[in-house]
Structure 1
Amino acid sequence: MKYLGATMIGKSYFLLSLLQAGLAQDWKLHGPREVTAQEGSCAQIPCRYSYPSHVSNQPRIGIWNKEGGSGTSLIAFHSNHHEKESQQFQSRTWLSGDLKNGDCSLIINTIKREDAGSYHFRIEFDKVNSYSYFPRTQLHISDFTDKPTVAPVEIIAGKRVRLNCIFNTTCTGTAPALTWDTPTAVHGSVSNTVTQHGATLTYTSVLALTPSLRDQGQTLTCRLSYPTVSSEQMHILTVQSISSHRWKAGLLGAGIILSVGLSGLFIFKCVKKAKSTGRDQTACQQVSRDTPGKQWDRSRERMGMKQETKTKHSANEHEDPTYENCEIDWALRNQKKKFEEITLNHNIHVHQEDNIYANCNFDEEAMYGNV
């Protein structure tokens, strides 16, 4: 009997464990394991949770706990009773989303060093349907290093200009303040805007002014401020005169014109070089207009110059002047023989102009050696 009772208890415990495991699958939380925030700014712990469908229409309470020493915990946030929140967190925490939509993201403003630690979220529907979500999120605190940025812009004397000071953040807690510090001699107006792109908030402060040459070298300061910390970005005015601006614009235009001109010249030379392949035909037409006698004289002259170069090279190699004129005489004889054969075959007078030489049948090596 005792054995049977023990068996029943064991089975009941096993079934209860399975039931709890099945229910636990409906209790889920999505959030980061670690978050880092800068001291004095705000921290955001992203959080989304799910729960069983049978409690979806019931009222709920969201609680964020921070683990303390000796296994104790501090209430960092309580959605229904803020007076239950630890003194350390009162008036500094809230939720950025709606618990009914499954958003449990926690905001902590004016971060302090003692805020570092482990945090976890708990949801309570009633005494039976409550759940503490794990794993916990570890919050780290670092020094405040954020700075705004001043977008560069060209500044011309007498021309209205807008200087933009910008700061980006993903924390939706207490908004930072952007302000301008300007010398008394610099007069301007300031306007501030906030825009959101996805999870990023962009704070912009615009300083509009009309600078003069007297403002050259003046220092403008954009300051980013939270309740307990601040930082700044300086901008030194570099004011150009109108004449200097026009001179630079003219120089830029001249550079562009010069570049275009050089490009055109390059293209012209390329086209000219491409057309130079027709020079042989032009030279051949020039030869056809000469009389056979003139052609012979030109050929003999060019042949003599070429052979003289070869003879000098040959003399240097053999160091023997005996054959210095042999190659020239032999080439001239061959060329003269060709000329006599052409004249005999066509039966023309040496002084008669004709187009029989249009195809340049003379020795091409001698005729076009310098073309």
Structure 2
Amino acid sequence: MDYYLAFILLAHLWSNTDCQGIPGYELKVNKTVDVQRGLCVRVPCTFIVPLNIRLTKGIAGIWFHFIEGSGQHVAFRVNNKHYSNGRFYLIGDVTRGDCSFIIEGAMNEDAGSYGFRIVDEETKLLYPDVLPNVQVTEFTEKPTISFARLVEGKEVTLTCTSPGRCRKVTPEISWIGKVSNRRIINYEITRDDGSRSFHSNITFTPGKSDNNSPLYCTVTLKTGVSTTEKQSLSVEYSPSINITIEGVVTSDTSSVTVKDGDTITMRCSVDSNPKASITWYKEDAVVNWTRSFQTISLTLTNVTPSDAGRFLCSAENEHGVINKTFHIIHHGEESKSKITGDNTAIAAAVGGVISLVLILVVGAVLFIYFRKKRQQNINGNLKDIPINDSDAIYCSPEFTTPDTYPSEHSPPKNLKSSAGDDSVYNEDVQYASVNFSKQKSNQVVPEDMEIEYSEIRKTRRV
């Protein structure tokens, strides 16, 4: 059956309403149907006929939209063929008494009352007792964002689902947020009844800086309207610690110096998600403790030397443990420590100088000792060497010289003076000869004789 014949049939059916109000005919559908502008709605609907009426496979179901007192058909179904105005669809199997319909991408002009009619071989009936009324409202429905546990450093996927289930309308889904390295995949799921749902997955690795940051999912319809859902990210991470001191002025983040009578408060502030258990220790003993809190204080009143020591703040949650140490130094102990340190330094310096002097002295003594020892050894060796008298050299006036000179030492004969005469050199020129004879002298030198030594020089004649 083509659409032209369908129109003729519908007009004929509208003019014949013989069976209205006959018992046994009943329509079950919501009297009021709300649909947001641009969205889709599925309306369940069933109808029954008297038991003596048998519906054939050629039965036709028609939905009318009543506008200004007249009915305009918007959809019908016969022999599994459909007709629609583009937004209203009869999706039920009329042969089984199903008159369900859907409205897709609803517009303001779709509002109003609707009527249902059946036409079969022997039955022509408009169900006038139930006329569902469609109301088109503003688009306020939000998309939904799935829940997932977010842990720092662990990849996670969140899903945004568009509102409505449409056959023909395909929305656009987008994400807005500061999460980095994200991957987005959009997809749809088709149901058995032909309706579709639309989804978008965003995959990312959250960090501590993402905690409490907003993430938006926006759905935009073809009609131009859009809707947005916001989710604040709750990222879980291990604790971090910050220690502050009240009551004294200090720029050191690891220690503070106090004096008798001071009052100080140490605050251990923890940043973690979930909240951490915090414990203050002095040395190894617990002095303050709390569960699931972010700041814990430890106050020391009227400080005495016994309050000095090492303090440790420890924070723990299911993702980790962190410790931070803080030292309290009593002023007396600091001065004593400083004096002791100065004295130690001076003592070390003096000790170094003394050690150096001792090393030098010992070295000098050893040097002198070994030098004397060496000289003694040399003298001892000389005493053991026999001296031959023939090796001795003497220079004494008592020594006698031989009468003759060796040829190479004899004075030249027939020497003449510079005046040209035959005279020899002046008498003031003296010659001496030393004879190194190996023969032992027979002359004995008395022990009391004083030996004189003369220096003999050779003087040139002027």
Scaled by the length of structure 2, the TM-score of the pair is: 0.42
Distance 1:78 1:150 in 2: 37
**Residues 1:98 and 2:60 are matched in the alignment:** no
**Residues 1:232 and 2:228 are matched in the alignment:** yes
Alpha carbons 2:65, 2:72 under 8 Å: kept:
yes
**Residues 1:31 and 2:29 are matched in the alignment:** yes
Q: What's 2:71 paired with?
A: 73
Distance 2:273 2:216 in 1: 29
- Per-residue displacement from partner, 1:314-341 (whole Å, max 9, x unpaired)? xxxxxxxxxxxxxxxxxxxxxxxxxxxx
Q: What's 2:119 paired with?
A: 124
Could you tell me the percent identity over the aligned residues? 24
AA partner of residue 131 (structure 1): L
Alpha carbons 1:156, 1:242 under 8 Å: kept:
no
Task: Extract unaligned runs of 5+ from structure 2.
Answer: 1-17, 241-269, 280-288, 292-462
Q: What's 1:291 paired with?
A: none
**Residues 1:187 and 2:184 are matched in the alignment:** no
SS at match of 2:276: helix
Q: How does 1:107-256 map to 2 (within 5 A)?
A: 107-126=102-121, 128-134=122-128, 135-167=130-162, 169=164, 173-174=167-168, 177=171, 179-182=173-176, 186-191=180-185, 192=187, 194=189, 204-213=199-208, 215=210, 219-228=214-223, 229-237=225-233, 239-244=235-240, 251=276
Judged with a 3 Å threshold, the aligned counterparts in structure 2 of structure 1 residues 185 and 201 are, in CA distance, closer, same or farther, namely closer
Shift of residue 149, structure 1, vs aligned partner? 2.9
Distance 2:44 2:31 in 1: 10
Shift of residue 35, structure 1, vs aligned partner? 1.2
**Residues 1:60 and 2:54 are matched in the alignment:** no
Alpha carbons 1:61, 1:123 under 8 Å: kept:
yes
Shift of residue 111, structure 1, vs aligned partner? 0.7
AA partner of residue 144 (structure 1): F
Q: How does 1:346-361 map to 2 (within 5 A)?
A: none
User: Higher helix share goes to which structure?
Assistant: 1
Judged with a 3 Å threshold, the aligned counterparts in structure 2 of structure 1 residues 122 and 29 are, in CA distance, closer, same or farther, namely same
Shift of residue 129, structure 1, vs aligned partner? 1.5
Distance 1:28 1:152 in 2: 44
Alpha carbons 2:152, 2:237 under 8 Å: kept:
yes
AA partner of residue 208 (structure 1): T
Shift of residue 92, structure 1, vs aligned partner? 2.0
Alpha carbons 1:96, 1:172 under 8 Å: kept:
no
The root-mean-square deviation of aligned C-alpha atoms, in Å, is: 4.2
Alpha carbons 1:221, 1:234 under 8 Å: kept:
yes
Shift of residue 241, structure 1, vs aligned partner? 4.3
User: Higher strand share goes to which structure?
Assistant: 2
Judged with a 3 Å threshold, the aligned counterparts in structure 2 of structure 1 residues 183 and 84 are, in CA distance, closer, same or farther, namely closer
Distance 2:41 2:103 in 1: 5
SS at match of 1:55: coil
Task: Extract unaligned runs of 5+ from structure 1.
Answer: 1-18, 260-371
Q: What's 1:48 paired with?
A: 46
Scaled by the length of structure 1, the TM-score of the pair is: 0.51
Shift of residue 242, structure 1, vs aligned partner? 4.1
Alpha carbons 2:169, 2:222 under 8 Å: kept:
no
Shift of residue 223, structure 1, vs aligned partner? 1.7
Q: How does 1:287-306 map to 2 (within 5 A)?
A: none
SS at match of 1:100: helix
Larger Rg computed on CA atoms: 2
**Higher relative contact order, structure no. (Cα contacts within 8 Å, ≥ 6 residues apart):** 1
Alpha carbons 1:47, 1:104 under 8 Å: kept:
yes
Distance 2:235 2:155 in 1: 12
Shift of residue 231, structure 1, vs aligned partner? 0.6
Distance 1:66 1:58 in 2: 25
Aligned length: 231
Shift of residue 178, structure 1, vs aligned partner? 6.3
Shift of residue 185, structure 1, vs aligned partner? 6.5
Judged with a 3 Å threshold, the aligned counterparts in structure 2 of structure 1 residues 250 and 82 are, in CA distance, closer, same or farther, namely closer
AA partner of residue 230 (structure 1): S
